[in-house]
Amino acid sequence: MTDVMIYVQHLLGIGHVRRTALLVREMREAGLSVGVVSGGIPDDAIDFGTDTVIQLPPCRSADHGFSGLVDENGVVVDDDWKARRKQALFDAYQILSPRLLMVEMFPFGRRAFRFELLPLLEQAGQDGVKRVCSVRDLLVRKTDIAKERWMRDVALSHFDQILVHGDPAVLEFDRSFPFAADLAARLEYTGYVAPQVRATNAPRDGVVVSAGGGAVGGDLIRAAIAAMPLSQKYAMAPWDIITGPHFPADDFAAIRRNLPPNITLHRFLSDFRHRLTRANVSVSQAGYNTLMDVLVAGVPSVMVPFAEGGESEQTERAEIFAAKNIISLLPSSNLTAQTLAKAIDNADFPKEFELSLDGARIGAAKIRAIIMGKDHGHLG
């Protein structure tokens, strides 16, 4: 028997995976056994923090607009694929035999996977397994309120607890989910899930540009390379550009062939978070995990939120933190080499802020308390 089974599915970026990995490590520190069931495309750079990882038949988003699902070969998934995938998920559940099932995002995202998740959650409920949803602070805005009602109804009927990885002092779940009040009895905040990074006294030098998983970061990377010689402060400084593991191989090779000598191109940096603590400026998109990396590093930052395919979450979060003078915001619609160079030159250290960044430890403690049948208090 396993204490916790975690279901996670990444479609474009790897932010969901990185947040899950931080939670897993803290759960294990709390003495819990954890099995991760992953449905995304496997990648050597992904470390879930546990040896017990079961890979489902993998899939990803067909495009940046999330128009559909394709398998690892780019083939559109069909009913036969879904049947195999559903069976593989049930097999994983039987193997792990968990005391608690934690599902990342669903039902507030990953609706396309309801064909396998609803039956799994129903089975877990029949077996007396505790069911927990793990969800980030902000959701992508929906234009169809019927979908939001469906999310509420599934949350009420299929989950015992909803852990929101955010700080209500900054923003509450009802900012992006209109039926949050209906879930009040099940809703708990953990604080933000952020990594622990050692402080450094080393002098800051250079610019770090990162594109998360890399599936959607091409425009930002090309703009940053063009911005480098236009910078009044950092044109002669070293620039590290991290494309992410899912950046297209052909684009990576083409960019590397024409780089100026002070720019180094990386697919992945194992010491990325430490590198941020020594940078003059961080340039990135505005995903949850990247923002956490920037905050714990205390580095001046310019964020260009991903906003394709109706994605509102990164822009909304960046606007909130920019209004508090914690980051600098450059909307993707305004992204040029000139605007980026100016934003980099003007980037300043984040203003002092109070924010709960211990969400991994608190989340793990809440999970342990649910398993043990103990009361667990609310944050804020």
Question: By the 8 A CB rule, do 131 and 160 touch?
Answer: yes
Q: For residue range 54-86, list pLDDT tens digits in order.
A: 999 999 988 766 678 999 999 999 999 999 999
Mean pLDDT score, 85-96: 98
Which stretches of the chain are DSSP H helices?
A: 15-29, 79-96, 114-126, 145-158, 218-227, 249-257, 272-277, 288-297, 313-323, 337-346, 359-372
Tokens of residue 18, six digits = 């990185």
Q: Distance between CA 24 and CA 361 in Å, rounded?
A: 10
Predicted TM-score (pTM) above 0.75: yes
Per residue in 279-305, pLDDT tens?
999 999 998 999 999 999 999 999 999
Fold match, 2-193+357-372 / 207-346: yes
Strands 69-71 and 59-61: antiparallel
Helix (H, G, I), strand (E, B) or coil at 349: coil
pLDDT value of residue 263:
97
Residues 6+ apart with CB under 8 A from 130: 99, 100, 101, 160, 161, 370, 371
Residue 327: partners with Cβ closer than 8 Å, 6 or more residues away: 286, 291, 294, 301, 302, 303, 318, 321, 350
Say yes or no to pLDDT of 259 above 60. yes
Question: pLDDT at residue 375 above 50?
Answer: no
Q: What is the pLDDT of residue 102?
A: 98
Whether the Cβ atoms of residue 59 and residue 77 lie closer than 8 Å to each other? yes
Question: Which superfamily does CATH assign the domain made up of 207-346 to?
Answer: Glycogen Phosphorylase B; (3.40.50.2000)
In this prediction, residue 378 carries a pLDDT of 40
CA nearest neighbour of 178 among 202, 201, 150: 150
Asked if the model's pLDDT at residue 198 lies above 90, the reply is: no
Residue 380 has pLDDT above 50, yes or no: no
Q: What's the number of CA atoms in the CB half-sphere (13 Å) around residue 176?
A: 23
CATH superfamily of 2-193+357-372: Glycogen Phosphorylase B; (3.40.50.2000)
Contact 230, 204 (CB under 8 A): no
Give a three-class secondary structure readout of 179-190.
Answer: CHHHHCCCEEEC
Residues 72-103, buried b or exposed e (16+ Cβ, 10 A)? eeeeebeeebbeebbebbeebbeebebbbbbb
Q: Summarize the confidence of residues 123-149 as an average pLDDT.
A: 94
Per-residue confidence at 308, pLDDT binned at 50, 70, 90? confident
Q: Are 298 and 349 in contact (CB under 8 A)?
A: yes
Q: Residue 92: pLDDT band by 50, 70, 90 thresholds?
A: very high
Q: Is the pLDDT of residue 376 over 60?
A: no
Residues paired with 38 in a beta bridge: 8, 55
What dihedral angle (degrees, nearest 10) is formed by the CA atoms of 247, 283, 231, 339? 90
Each domain of the chain, given as residue ranges in start order, spans 2-193+357-372, 207-346
Looking at residue 51, what is its pLDDT? 85
